[in-house]
Structure 1
Amino acid sequence: MPEIAKISVQKKDKHRYNIFLKENGQDVYAFSVAEDLLIEHHLRKGLTISDELIEQLKEKDSFYKVYTLSLRYLSYRMRSEKEIIDYLHQKEVDIETIKAVVQRLKQEKWLDDLAFAESFVRTRLQMAVKGPLLIRKELADKGVSNESIEQALIQYPFEDQMEKIDKWLNKQNQMSSKKSYKQQLENLKQRLMQKGFTQDAIQEALQQHSFEKDPNEEYQAVVYQGEKLIQKYKRKAAGSQLRQKVTAALYRKGFSFDVIEPFLDEYLDESANEHDINW
């Protein structure tokens, strides 16, 4: 059986060792092992080892490398089981080794999808303006089961949604004078829905928030939108047909007939007069 001629510490990793065997009177590099394996198998200079043990050491060390790589990946932050599997796939680790490493990580509690999901929800609550629906999607994308997601989202009650939405609304700029009051509220709803808040929470928060409709700003908005629509449609329509088209377009933009009619009475007459003068 071959004899260990020399053991040296690797320069780039002080916890790994190169094993040299004696062959034809020379020290020949054979393989490397992690410090734990060195200690476990009492490897030392002068020890004779079988070819079978050498293969076992290589297999164990291969597993240990992947295991250590996974721990390093987990050291930056918690990961879901799917994230670890995807990461090891990218490193071209074979399926059986991935399964074995994942099993050990779960046994040692380095991997726990429920604990990961709960930590993920807490972080999102502290750091981001995101509702439970968006957080649910993010966790699902990371491979977390529906059961674990549901349990983790217990930490995100309806009251916390309301508080998040209210703080976000308070940071928004004043209502724009270029859109109807109704359209501005719809835009706020859409943005909150994109952030993952539930419709019930959005509706209640908007009702509690003090958004006042200013008649003067609403008229300024209808003028801003209406003048553009008149320019758009007057090339192909006139008279009652032009009025109908502009009315319908403004109504779709959220303006009420109470503000549309005064605008049309004033601006369509002016538009008609300009048309007569130009003619």
Structure 2
Amino acid sequence: MPVVTKITTQKKNTERYNVFLDYGKGEEYAFSVDEYVLTTFAIRKGQNLTDDEIAEIQYEDHVKKAHNLALTYLSYRMRSVKEVQQYLQTKEMGDDAIRRAIEKLLEYRYLNDLEFAKAYVRTHMRTNSKGPGLLKQELIEKGITGPDIEESLLEYDEELQFENALKLIEKTRKKSQKQSEKMMKQKAKTTLLTKGFDLSLITKALHEVSLEKDEDEQWEALKKQGEKAHRRYRKYEDFQYTQKMKTHLYQKGFPLEQINKLLDHLAQQND
């Protein structure tokens, strides 16, 4: 039966200890352990250790490593249980060690999926104007269960959802000045749907914000799109050119009456 001959503190990590054993052929390095494991098993010089005891010590040290890795990971920000599990898997921690580490983290409330979900919703509803649908999907991906998701989304009241939707519409409007009125409205609607807002709220928000262009603004937008299309299609003969221009600009949301007016305008310029 091997006997503990020496225990030394590691130079790079003073909370870990190297344990040396003598198997009958002289002293040799055997394994290292966390300080917690060292004291839990009361490992000391002159102690005899069976193979089973050594295996148990090393197993508990593996669990402690998983626990310490998780604590470091959690020190940067809150995490869900699933996120911690996945992180520990990347660190090649065994399934049982991960389970034990998670249980202890839950016991001491370092992990709490409901509190994580609430904090996640509060952060994202105020920093990047995500809608509840998108937040729900992201929480599902992070392993949050249905009841916790539903409770956390109560943090996001309809008034703030509406306010965020209006901000996104205004942002879309500023980016789409060169687009037709119809295309601008469609882009705003698509943006809000992608961000996870409910269709009824989107409809309400679109009615609240005026995306209508006056006649001069619509004409300027059409001219910009028409000039780009003209450079693209001017190589075609008259009939083909006209058809391609009309199709392109109609798909951009401009009415045919205005498109015909633009084509006359371009024809006069090129005469």
Residue 66 of structure 1 aligns to a residue whose secondary structure is helix
Measured at CA, do residues 234 and 55 of structure 1 come closer, stay the same or move farther in structure 2, by a change above 3 Å? closer
Report the alpha carbon displacement of residue 243 of structure 1 after superposing the two structures with TM: 6.3
> Quick check: 1:4–1:44 contact (8 Å CA) kept in 2?
yes
Report the alpha carbon displacement of residue 268 of structure 1 after superposing the two structures with TM: 7.1
Report the alpha carbon displacement of residue 99 of structure 1 after superposing the two structures with TM: 2.8
Measured at CA, do residues 47 and 178 of structure 1 come closer, stay the same or move farther in structure 2, by a change above 3 Å? closer
Residue 109 of structure 1 aligns to a residue whose secondary structure is coil
Report the alpha carbon displacement of residue 227 of structure 1 after superposing the two structures with TM: 5.2
> Quick check: 1:6–1:45 contact (8 Å CA) kept in 2?
yes
> Quick check: 2:3–2:46 contact (8 Å CA) kept in 1?
yes
- Structure 2 letter corresponding to 1:125: M
The aligned residue for residue 99 of structure 2 is 99
> Quick check: 2:81–2:112 contact (8 Å CA) kept in 1?
yes
Report the alpha carbon displacement of residue 219 of structure 1 after superposing the two structures with TM: 1.8
- Give the distance between the partners of 2:237 and 2:46, measured in 1 at CA: 99
The 5 Å alignment of 1:15-94 reads 15-24=15-24, 26-94=26-94
The aligned residue for residue 254 of structure 1 is 253
Measured at CA, do residues 244 and 2 of structure 1 come closer, stay the same or move farther in structure 2, by a change above 3 Å? closer
The aligned residue for residue 225 of structure 1 is 225
The aligned residue for residue 267 of structure 1 is 265
Residue 186 of structure 2 aligns to a residue whose secondary structure is helix
Residue 130 of structure 2 aligns to a residue whose secondary structure is coil
> Quick check: 2:20–2:27 contact (8 Å CA) kept in 1?
yes
TM-score, length of structure 1 as denominator length? 0.81
**After the TM superposition, which of the residue ranges 6-15 and 41-50 deviates more from structure 2?**
41-50
> Quick check: 2:21–2:30 contact (8 Å CA) kept in 1?
yes
The aligned residue for residue 160 of structure 2 is 160
- Structure 2 letter corresponding to 1:267: H
- Give the distance between the partners of 1:19 and 1:44, measured in 2 at CA: 9
Residue 130 of structure 1 aligns to a residue whose secondary structure is coil
The aligned residue for residue 215 of structure 2 is 215
The 5 Å alignment of 1:94-173 reads 94-171=94-171
Measured at CA, do residues 47 and 222 of structure 1 come closer, stay the same or move farther in structure 2, by a change above 3 Å? closer
> Quick check: 1:15–1:35 contact (8 Å CA) kept in 2?
yes
TM-score, length of structure 2 as denominator length? 0.83
The aligned residue for residue 11 of structure 1 is 11
Q: Deviations over 1:88-143 (max 9, x none)?
A: 22222333333333333333333322222112111212322322222122112222
Structure with the greater alpha carbon radius of gyration: 1
> Quick check: 1:121–1:155 contact (8 Å CA) kept in 2?
yes
Report the alpha carbon displacement of residue 216 of structure 1 after superposing the two structures with TM: 1.0
> Quick check: 2:173–2:184 contact (8 Å CA) kept in 1?
no
List gaps (5 residues or longer) in structure 2: none
The aligned residue for residue 277 of structure 1 is none
Report the alpha carbon displacement of residue 215 of structure 1 after superposing the two structures with TM: 0.7
Report the alpha carbon displacement of residue 51 of structure 1 after superposing the two structures with TM: 3.4
- Give the distance between the partners of 2:127 and 2:177, measured in 1 at CA: 32
List gaps (5 residues or longer) in structure 1: 275-279
The aligned residue for residue 235 of structure 1 is 236
Residue 75 of structure 2 aligns to a residue whose secondary structure is helix
Residue 43 of structure 2 aligns to a residue whose secondary structure is coil
Determine whether 1:188 maps to 2:203. Answer: no
Residue 32 of structure 1 aligns to a residue whose secondary structure is strand
Residue 29 of structure 1 aligns to a residue whose secondary structure is strand
- Structure 1 letter corresponding to 2:92: E
Residue 6 of structure 1 aligns to a residue whose secondary structure is strand
- Structure 2 letter corresponding to 1:12: K
> Quick check: 2:79–2:111 contact (8 Å CA) kept in 1?
yes
- Structure 1 letter corresponding to 2:112: D
- Give the distance between the partners of 2:85 and 2:216, measured in 1 at CA: 60
**After the TM superposition, which of the residue ranges 6-15 and 249-258 deviates more from structure 2?**
249-258
Measured at CA, do residues 51 and 214 of structure 1 come closer, stay the same or move farther in structure 2, by a change above 3 Å? same
